[in-house]
Homo-oligomer: A and B are copies of this chain.
Amino acid sequence: MINREEVQSRIARMQSLLKDKGLDGALFIVPVDVYYFSGTRQNSVLWMPVEGEPMLLVRKSFSRAKEESVLADVRSFPASKDLPDLFSSRIKKIGMTFDAVPVHQLNYYNKVLPGCAFTDISVLNRDVRSVKSPYELEQIRRCGRALCLVFGQVPHFLKAGMREVDVAAEFEYRLRKAGNEGYIRMRAFSQELFMGLAVSAGGAASYGCFDGAVTGRGLSSASPGGSSLQIIKENEPVLIDYTGVFNGYLADMTRIFVIGRLDPDLQRAFEVSLEIQAFLQKELKPGALCEKLYQDAVEMADRAGLSKCFMGMPGEQARFVGHGVGLELDEFPVIAKGFKEPLQAGQTIAIEPKFVMPGKGAIGIENTFAVTTSGGEKLTDMPDAITFL
């Protein structure tokens, strides 16, 4: 459970940004946003005035929201006609997270609060969430520990002849037994992910819709990402990339397993991915510029003669090398072009330099780090080395 001070500090940071933007308050309706600012993820809406106590309006379950939330003002969601009575007539400008709010919902609030104008605060929301408190860092560490324990068990079950989905089932089973909550939240429109993936060379070197280096072939054109029915073979890299969810917080990591020997080109690319990771880990300090870090990573891949297979299949390469993680898998900051904001202490970033070689498979590394004054603190703390079986 989140304590009251934690939530109050989050609210204060958001209220300060709302004030800078000249807003009278913000209406949070996306569940993960409501959870972050209230401590409960029930079906509810959070009104946060620019000053003073927020008000949680609950559709279902009221009793559970009351039990879980650290906010003082928790009420049942009123009839639409009574909603305006809850808002002072001085409230005119209201922020909302347009990145994840459906048009239907905005239209509803426009209709029932006719004197109010709604403004996008998606970026403010993501900025506040990007910096983690010590409590949040501990949640991500806990998730990292659970992931590492399952990664450590892979040598006990991975065998040639298994289908990718069999390996996935074994991994997911152990992660679930460890208390994994399962449902992975993503912010980006059109992105969906089921826990993670275990892929053979063929499955890894596939085109896909997921905005990542390795998408997997998936089980059908309706669910075209993740593990497929392809068979795991000897002498190829098996890439296992999973996201855990514990107490709502995610960590993300990837390790490579090989039954037999590895192609020397892949081995060399793996070493380059470790070099890029080591460079970025050293640089994950407050003040570093994401855009610059991305450019440096691209140049390292280029100098190694691997730019054509860096971060994805030829022609459809992902254009980032790290992404924020927290309550969602795609938080700020992103180590990518266009991200000009300096890093801040407490931001948590999955760094994942990977290379995809058609016909040979995918290779690379991924760990979740916290930004600190002495560089990235590894929150997914197990050896990076390829496991040879």
Contacts and interface: CB of A to CB of B under 8 A. Distances in A.
Interface of A: 1-2, 29-31, 35, 39-44, 60-64, 68, 96, 98-107, 120, 122, 165-166, 168-170, 172-173, 176-177, 179, 181-183, 185, 189-190, 192-195, 206-209, 211, 215, 218-224, 226, 229, 245-249, 313, 316, 327
Contact of A181 (B173, B218, B245): B218
B104 A102 contact: no
B222 A327 contact: yes
A371 to B, nearest CB: 23
Nearest to A32: B222
Contacts of A2: 221
Given A63-B207, A172-B176, A194-B182, A41 B221 contact: yes
Number of identical protomers: 2
Contact of A169 (B107, B176, B220, B222): B176
A176 B168 contact: yes
A24 to B, nearest CB: 19
20 contacts: A2-B221, A29-B190, A30-B190, A31-B190, A31-B192, A35-B222, A43-B209, A43-B211, A62-B316, A63-B316, A64-B206, A99-B104, A103-B106, A104-B120, A172-B173, A181-B219, A182-B194, A182-B226, A183-B192, A220-B247
Contacts of A192: 31, 183, 185
A41 B179 contact: no
Q: Chain B CB within 10 Å — which of A31, A185, A195 has the most?
A: A31
B169 A60 contact: no
Contact of A177 (B169, B189, B194): B169
Main secondary structure of the interface of A (DSSP, over half): loop
Contact of A222 (B105, B223, B247): B247
B177 A165 contact: yes
A104 B102 CA distance: 9
The 8 closest A-B pairs by CB, nearest first: A222-B248, A182-B194, A181-B223, A61-B207, A98-B103, A169-B176, A183-B194, A173-B173
